[in-house]
Structure 1
Amino acid sequence: MSGLAWAAHQLGASVTGSDRSDSTYLERLRAAGVAVTVGHDPENLPEGAEVIVSTAISEDNPELVAARQQGLTVKHRSELLAELCSARRQIAVAGTHGKTTTTGMLTFALRELGEEPSFFIGGELPGFGPEGAAANSGWGDGEWVVVEADESDGSFLTLDPEIAVITNIEMDHHARWDNLAELRDAFHDFASKARAVILPREDTGLAASLDSGSREITPFDLTGPGPGELGLSVPGAHNRLNARAAIGALVAAGFREEEVVDALRGFTGVKRRQEFKGECDGAKVYDDYAHHPTEVAAALGALREFGPDRLIAAFQPHLYSRTKIFSQQFGAALAEADEILVLDVYPAREEPVGPLEGVSGLDVLRAAADRAGGKPAYWAPDLEAAERILRSRAGAGSIIATLGAGDVTRLSDRLVS
């Protein structure tokens, strides 16, 4: 939402907004001259405004109720996103994992190639905001817009991309999608609008269903497109896959493969994606948004490439529903670390009631301990306890990774402060 507000402001719209709590996103909007408030109140609604809401806004939200009573136009965020993106040639990146980094890679490479892309990313790209700050959106003068396409609520289907990138397809948002077949059908519908589709080489079924004489299909894997060695600045097999997808997309956009590869070498990542935060008593601290077992395994595998003496994983599960479904898989992924710390679940929008009653981070810790072969495993009920434990385990030659989509990022800040 903050990214849409910033882009609309750049385009000259009169923008106001509100959120339930303050954040760095609101601070940046205020600094740019956007009128934002903390708390939802009907008084926040300007006369005649077009009201944009996210999926997180319930129907009983006081501002939304007032907007409907006043007969104001109400749109979902995806509708405004699609409206803005329709003004540019679109590269849309969808997938269960890797879409934020791949969107960041594409945006970075386009700028390195002399373009001035517009972009909408589900993370913050360093150096792309005012005065070199990080930004999750921007409106450029170039012909391309790069947009992260969110499948979690089905809103990616509102986009109309010229080039569609699918990084991978795996079940994650079980509240929205009943099964993998339904999810794959949605990805098919998303990609079928594009003239060019970049997708995993292993997904021959989707490629076959999309194949037509007028649509360009580019498969990617760890061997291509691109040369054997990419020389990336970011570690991990998953990032090498992300880069291959980005190369395929930009070649489909008309750029030469070798110049795209050169442009990507300077990409250093997106905030909260293997982000180096600093040191704690000699240990290097990295922060990552990983909140799915596949992502946890990928993040730890990438950090292993740095060759630490010890890799300490501090994981905060996100959502009771996801924890219940994936506790065993989370345990298996975390067991690849040398030491494991698990915090309790970050609930976000959920309550541990009904079928979720009794679910906790202890389910993940037990699963990890069962698979860890006697490696140290710690329970931390809160960030304060986690900080104490991690400080006692930190040391030269080790890496501490804070992992999760909740407020565990604050733990990394505390460790390096």
Structure 2
Amino acid sequence: MNQPWSGRKLHFVGIGGVGMSGLAKVARILGADVTGSDRAQGGHAASNVPAGAEVVYSSAIPADNPERTTGAPELHRADLLAELTQLKPTIAVSGTHGKTTTSSMLVHALPGQSYLVGGEVRSTGTNADWHPDSEWLIVEADESDRSLLKLHPTIAVVTNAELDHHTTYASSRDVDETFAAFLARARDAVVAPDLTRLRADAHVFGEFDGPLPVPGAHNRRNAAAALKAIELAGEDVAAAAARLADFQGAGRRFEVVGEAQGATVVDDYAHHPTEVRATIEAARSRDAGRVVALFQPHLFSRTQREAMAFGQALAGADVVAVLDVYPARETAADYPGVSGLTIVRTTLDARPGMPVFWAKTHAAARRFLQDTLQNGDLLLTMGAGDVNTIGRDLVAHSEAPGR
């Protein structure tokens, strides 16, 4: 069967990443010959790139990566996603927070549509799929590198707008201008009530008041944003709202991992102060016992700029443990004096005397939690790095609670 991308060779650098894996999956469905490599599985080498392939890379892959120095034609992942948004009418969801959850809500509430989301949609068990006969394509639009401006949305959603990616944006005005340009590319726009400045004729959303299994006021706003987009798409809003009653969430978004020593373990991708605060508030809404927060700062630049706000957000927990910074693409040498200890200090400044543990390493954090967790606690593992492995390890090796 002849597919739109039949005969095309695509090589994905970092194919194990959540965004790249989804693109690779859809590319195969569309008939492309797909190959890829990943640092965690065999590493990168020029010899991995097949003859005649286009090399697909993300902003996380530096120009000196050996698979980007072969002379093969290159394509940023956003360019490939942009091609997909020209194949079907597209609902594109962006915003500083809530993109993945709102996109996942759209996928769950509109079954049978094509989609690419930056996390696993738990009700489908995958992050991407392509249905040739579907009317809509649902995508998550990434603002971190301005790649959202390459897409061709029919309906564009912006859940909120804050300065987060400090190496990309110079100011909040810069963030606003980028989101405004994104919204201008769409037939219809959906924005939070405080963002009508971004597009005068944008439709606003409020807070969903129907049954919703995922906790927190922020998720009720995410649901309202998804339903407004569904309304503009001409789909059945009442049926979509009813489906949200069994929405199972998205991977690493207030994801209940299991139990460890009588405590419920919840993992969340929260890596910005607003997200950390919302996640702790969502935990409080579950009427748990103590909220124990294990936080892994992501990026030295974000830690340095948002240290005070992180401390204020974490002070909403009962017990806090902090890992060292997950550096991603940055190096400690460029940010002298900035570490996870910076967040420990600002948390104590925000709430003097509260129990805050400078865990630093994964091993120390595990030991602390094994000694600290009690029956009825709710443990939050938060961050965009590998902090989630600690909660899963605790669940996997949990002993019966003895407290």
TM exceeds 0.5? Answer: yes
Residue aligning to 1:219:
204
Could you tell me how far apart the structure 1 residues matched to 2:236 and 2:257 are?
35
Residue aligning to 1:27:
none
Q: Does the alignment pair 1:3 with 2:22?
A: yes
Q: Determine which of 174, 177, 183 is the counterpart of 2:175.
A: 183
Residue aligning to 2:66:
62
Residue aligning to 1:140:
131
> Gaps (5+ residues) in structure 1?
23-37, 129-133, 212-216
Q: Determine which of 8, 16, 20 is the counterpart of 2:35.
A: 16
2:379 partner SS: strand
Q: Does the alignment pair 1:109 with 2:88?
A: no
Could you tell me how far apart the structure 2 residues matched to 1:405 and 1:240 are?
23
Deviation at 1:274, TM superposition (A): 0.5
> Gaps (5+ residues) in structure 2?
1-19, 397-403
Q: Determine which of 286, 299, 307 is the counterpart of 2:279.
A: 299
Could you tell me how far apart the structure 2 residues matched to 1:164 and 1:54 are?
22
Deviation at 1:149, TM superposition (A): 0.1
Deviation at 1:127, TM superposition (A): 3.9
Could you tell me how far apart the structure 1 residues matched to 2:349 and 2:64 are?
44
Could you tell me how far apart the structure 2 residues matched to 1:252 and 1:373 are?
49
Residue aligning to 1:268:
248
Q: Determine which of 182, 187, 194 is the counterpart of 1:195.
A: 187
Deviation at 1:259, TM superposition (A): 1.7
1:312 partner SS: strand
Could you tell me how far apart the structure 2 residues matched to 1:273 and 1:81 are?
23
Could you tell me how far apart the structure 2 residues matched to 1:65 and 1:73 are?
10
Deviation at 1:309, TM superposition (A): 1.6
Q: Determine which of 305, 327, 348 is the counterpart of 1:369.
A: 348
Q: Does the alignment pair 1:315 with 2:290?
A: no
Could you tell me how far apart the structure 1 residues matched to 2:62 and 2:195 are?
37
Length-normalised TM-score, structure 2? 0.91
Which residues of 2 match residues 3-402 of structure 1 at below 5 A? 3-22=22-41, 38-66=42-70, 68=71, 72-111=72-111, 116-128=112-124, 134-141=125-132, 142-208=134-200, 211=201, 217-222=202-207, 229-354=209-334, 356-402=335-381
Could you tell me how far apart the structure 2 residues matched to 1:346 and 1:60 are?
22
CA change 1:336–1:402 in 2 (3 A) is: same
Could you tell me how far apart the structure 2 residues matched to 1:203 and 1:3 are?
30
CA contact 2:320–2:355 (8 Å) conserved in 1 = yes
Deviation at 1:221, TM superposition (A): 2.2
Give a deviation string over 1:131-165, Cα, whole Å, max 9, x none.
xxx21111123111100000000100010100000
Could you tell me how far apart the structure 1 residues matched to 2:272 and 2:353 are?
24
Could you tell me how far apart the structure 2 residues matched to 1:338 and 1:155 are?
39
Length-normalised TM-score, structure 1? 0.88
**2:102 partner letter:** T
Number of equivalences: 376
Could you tell me how far apart the structure 2 residues matched to 1:148 and 1:230 are?
24
**2:148 partner letter:** F
Could you tell me how far apart the structure 1 residues matched to 2:222 and 2:135 are?
23
Could you tell me how far apart the structure 2 residues matched to 1:47 and 1:119 are?
30
Could you tell me how far apart the structure 2 residues matched to 1:203 and 1:74 are?
36
Structure 1 outlier segments of 4+, above 6 Å: none
Deviation at 1:353, TM superposition (A): 1.9
Could you tell me how far apart the structure 1 residues matched to 2:250 and 2:333 are?
35
Give a deviation string over 1:356-388, Cα, whole Å, max 9, x none.
111000010111112224221111021111011
Could you tell me how far apart the structure 1 residues matched to 2:273 and 2:388 are?
18
Could you tell me how far apart the structure 2 residues matched to 1:365 and 1:299 are?
18
CA contact 2:184–2:199 (8 Å) conserved in 1 = no
Which residues of 2 match residues 402-417 of structure 1 at below 5 A? 402-417=381-396
Q: Alignment RMSD, CA only?
A: 1.1
Give a deviation string over 1:286-318, Cα, whole Å, max 9, x none.
000000000000101011111112000010000
Could you tell me how far apart the structure 1 residues matched to 2:48 and 2:343 are?
42
Residue aligning to 2:399:
none
1:242 partner SS: helix
Could you tell me how far apart the structure 1 residues matched to 2:368 and 2:333 are?
30
Could you tell me how far apart the structure 2 residues matched to 1:352 and 1:44 are?
31
Could you tell me how far apart the structure 1 residues matched to 2:356 and 2:379 are?
14
2:332 partner SS: coil
